[in-house]
Structure 1
Amino acid sequence: MATIRKLRGRWQAQVRRRGMKPRAKSFDSKLEAEKWARDLEAQVDRFGSAPDTKILESTTLGDLLERYQREVSPTKRGAVQEVQRIDVLRRHELAYRTMIGLSQQDIASFRDERLRLVAPSTAVRELAILSHVVEVSIRDWGLPLAKNVVKLVRRPIIQNERSRRLTGDEEQRLLDGCDSGKIPYFRTLLIVAIETGMRRGEILGLRWSDISHNRRVVSLTMTKNGTNRDVPLSQRAFGALMDWRARADVDQSTIFPMTAGGLEQAWYRLLKRVDINGLRFHDLRHEGVSRLFERGLNVIEVSSISGHKEMRTLRRYTHLSADDLVARLG
């Protein structure tokens, strides 16, 4: 049983248990002292000993973010974006909180504050980073935390599902607009995107050696979820690639030698040229995946092509044409 007493104007909690060194700590209020003692006794009951929490009193969340940014982030494919997000987190006042005092309420307050400034998807990504930082600190760095408080906080609901697909003659206008542009392979790039539903990064990372001409298949090794997969090429996509190959410098490192930023700029210039509004490049992935379903492929077959691991996520991409579904129903 813990001993709580008033000593020199403060409340001191002392915990004595067989097999552990006596622990004592002073607080401004009796309630804080009792809570600390209860938590310490609970850890002893659960683990048989109580960790030395001095390191938690001197370690801030910012310290952990800095170490994570230095040691863990560089190992990820999205390292650049994650480093930028961690820079934002390290400038927030939450980063100055010591780990002994970091609470579930602190994280909830951070979430609510960020939701007033950024989109829910951004807040979710930031919370995911914080959660993984704490998890790595516990599992790999030996930080004596009893729990990951970030996991206890409810994540914001993301309601930004898009249903934008190509309508009318938009596809033809886009392709015709490529002919008047300055990028000779942009038409081929769009056809590949529409026909395969591949992600932007996967398309930009394509090499000629990734294409099996006999099988008419593209082998992807650098995917968003880290899993290799083979993507079958329609005759249209394969023909467009072979046409570009006949004119391209096959010694270049990638089939489409441009950066993600360059693609976005070229895309918005194209939209302006052909007078199309409200269409994102990523919508071509929606279009491609939806067309796979409309061709009669089932969920498993489509997921093997698109690379979606969760059927719930795949469902968001399949905005099927009602007219086509009526035709299939007879």
Structure 2
Amino acid sequence: MASIRKRGPYQWEVRVRRKGYPLQCNTFESKAEAEAWASTIESEMARKVFRSFSEAENTLFTELLDRYGEELTPKKRGAKQEASKLRVISRYPIAEYSIALIGGKELAEYRNTRLKSVSPKTVHDELVLIGHVIKVAMQDWGLALPHGNPIESVRKPKVGNNSRDRRIFGEEEKRLLAACKEYGEPLPSIVTLALETGMRRGEIADLQWKYINLKNNTLHLPETKNEESRDVPLSSTAIRTLNKLPRNINGRVFSMRADSITKAFSRSCSRACEHVFERMAGEETDCDNCEGIKNLRFHDLRHEATSRFFELGLNPMQVAAITGHKTLQMLQRYTHLKAEDLAKLLN
């Protein structure tokens, strides 16, 4: 049963009580609006289709972002990156909206604002994260929304083909390794291992001696990006590289963190100019105007290794077993065969 009472010249308070349902309250500027709302609530309760959205109306989106960041994000391998995305989203006006008021329009405004400063891929990933935060709130936290998950009402930006085809050519590998040696261990060993195994940066950084079996020429990765373990075969070069390394008391193979590897690699690429061998020999050189190796990222070493596996004659199943790629499509993204090597196979 609904009760309506006047609270001041422009305010009408409505209370709807019905057995089996929580008390529903709302306030309107006119009596007609109050009566219409009460009639709708009573009708839904009578038809047993009523759902209370009061919690969603009183919950700010930033509260969901905070809870998600505290309860779910720390359990993920990419926790640091996801936490950064959550912080970015929380800085925009959409975070201060009541979650019940967020719809396609509000998400489109967020999308268009972000596209002015970051790439479509970044915005796409942020919208996916927003959608998952709301999905978890609905499915696991019992939050009822009037129109379901609003992420379904917004068009995500199209993400073009962002695969890279950078290979290592000519003397680039020699110059790169020389620059890495100039930087110092363990960087040259890390780069060599990446080229010989196709392992990801994080997999190399987390490598432990207890998972390396030099008798069987294999190493074991208990955790990978796709959350599955895998065994990686070791080439003779990889084995020689590992045998030269000192054993750390903490059991880790390398002392460098993943982000430190990226910074050191970038610096070495810049230093890997034509004069790197002269510098290594102690000769004086003028490298102020040298460009080094351009447009090479550490992750490109995984592309290079994968392509080399195919050039050695391994079939897709064998290469996937080494690299951990789950689909042929993903394996193709990491494979860039040299035309001259394919020509040799044809002649």
- 2:153 matched to 1:136? no
How many residue pairs are counted as aligned between the two chains? 316
C-alpha distance in 2 between matches for 1:319 and 1:195:
16
Aligned to 1:4: none
| Residue 253 of structure 1, CA deviation | 3.1
C-alpha distance in 1 between matches for 2:45 and 2:130:
24
Aligned to 2:113: 113
Aligned to 1:174: 176
C-alpha distance in 2 between matches for 1:76 and 1:224:
10
> Bigger radius of gyration, 1 or 2?
2
Aligned to 1:191: 192
Distance change (3 Å), C-alpha of 1:254 and 1:43: farther
Instruction: Report the aligned-residue RMSD.
Output: 3.4
Runs of 4+ more than 3 Å apart: 8-13, 19-31, 37-45
1:192-271 counterparts in 2 under 5 A?
192-242=193-243, 244-245=244-245, 248-271=246-269
8 Å CA contact retained: 2:180, 2:265: no
Amino acid at match of 1:262: S
| Residue 41 of structure 1, CA deviation | 8.5
8 Å CA contact retained: 1:207, 1:254: yes
| Residue 77 of structure 1, CA deviation | 1.7
Amino acid at match of 2:322: I
Q: For residues 136-192 of structure 1, what are the alpha-carbon distances to aligned partners after superposition, in whole Å with 9 as ceiling and x for unaligned?
A: 1011100012522214433323332211110111111112223322x2232221111
So what's the TM-score if we normalise by structure 1? Answer: 0.83
Q: Secondary structure at the match of 2:170?
A: coil
8 Å CA contact retained: 1:196, 1:288: yes
| Residue 73 of structure 1, CA deviation | 1.1
Unaligned runs of 5+ in 1: 1-7
- 2:59 matched to 1:67? no
| Residue 10 of structure 1, CA deviation | 10
Percent of residue pairs identical = 38
Aligned to 2:163: 161
Q: For residues 246-296 of structure 1, what are the alpha-carbon distances to aligned partners after superposition, in whole Å with 9 as ceiling and x for unaligned?
A: xx1342431111112321221122112212111111111110111122222
Aligned to 2:4: none
Amino acid at match of 2:112: D
Amino acid at match of 1:272: S
Unaligned runs of 5+ in 2: 1-8, 273-291
8 Å CA contact retained: 2:210, 2:251: no
Q: Secondary structure at the match of 1:249?
A: coil
Aligned to 1:279: 296
